[in-house]
């Protein structure tokens, strides 16, 4: 478990949560997204604590490496973030069913 400063940003909190759930060390993630090995752990730590916010293209690499949608890191609602993670684990058929169910629940608006 990573010791030290707690994440201060939504991005940092979610990054740490998913990285740890995947059992990936900070240095390993950093190297996997193209950061020099000597700086990898410190850079990922800065992203997690909110000292630095990664550029969007780096966030895309992080998301791809960790197997999540980049939207997970930026969703401002925790339930929506959880739904994004659930969505990633569904088959195409399950996604279609869930989407159809959500569309049936959607309030009708008059044009």
Q: What does the radius of gyration of the chain's CA atoms come to, in whole angstroms? A: 17
Looking at the predicted structure, is the pLDDT value of residue 74 above 60?
Answer: yes
- Is residue 93 classed as helix, strand or coil in its secondary structure? helix
Alpha carbons 58 and 35: distance in angstroms, whole number: 10
Q: What is the mean pLDDT of residues 61-78?
A: 96
Distance of CA 27 to the CA centre of its chain: 17
Note the pLDDT tens digit of each residue in 38-54. Answer: 999 999 999 999 999 99
Residue 60's CB is within 10 A of a number of other CB atoms, namely 15
Does residue 5 belong to any structural domain of this protein? no
Does residue 111 belong to any structural domain of this protein? no
Q: Are 16 and 48 in contact (CB under 8 A)?
A: yes
Does residue 31 belong to any structural domain of this protein? yes
Q: What is the mean pLDDT of residues 6-32?
A: 94
Does residue 3 belong to any structural domain of this protein? no
Does residue 4 belong to any structural domain of this protein? no
Range of the domain at 22: 10-105
Does residue 66 belong to any structural domain of this protein? yes
Count the domains in the chain: 1
Considering the chain, what is the average pLDDT of its residues?
92
Domain CATH for 83: 1.10.260.40
Rounded to two decimals, the pTM is 0.83
């Amino acid at each position: 478990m990573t010791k030290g400063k707690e994440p201060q940003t939504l991005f940092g909190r979610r990054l740490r949560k998913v990285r740890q759930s995947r059992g990936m060390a900070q240095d390993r993630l950093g190297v996997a997204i193209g950061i020099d090995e000597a700086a990898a752990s410190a850079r990922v730590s800065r992203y997690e604590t909110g000292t630095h916010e990664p550029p969007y293209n780096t966030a895309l690499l992080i998301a791809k490496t960790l197997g999540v949608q980049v939207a997970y890191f930026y969703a401002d609602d925790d339930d929506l973030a959880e739904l994004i993670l659930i969505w990633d684990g569904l088959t195409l058929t399950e996604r279609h069913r869930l989407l159809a169910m959500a569309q049936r629940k959607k309030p009708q608006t008059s044009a």
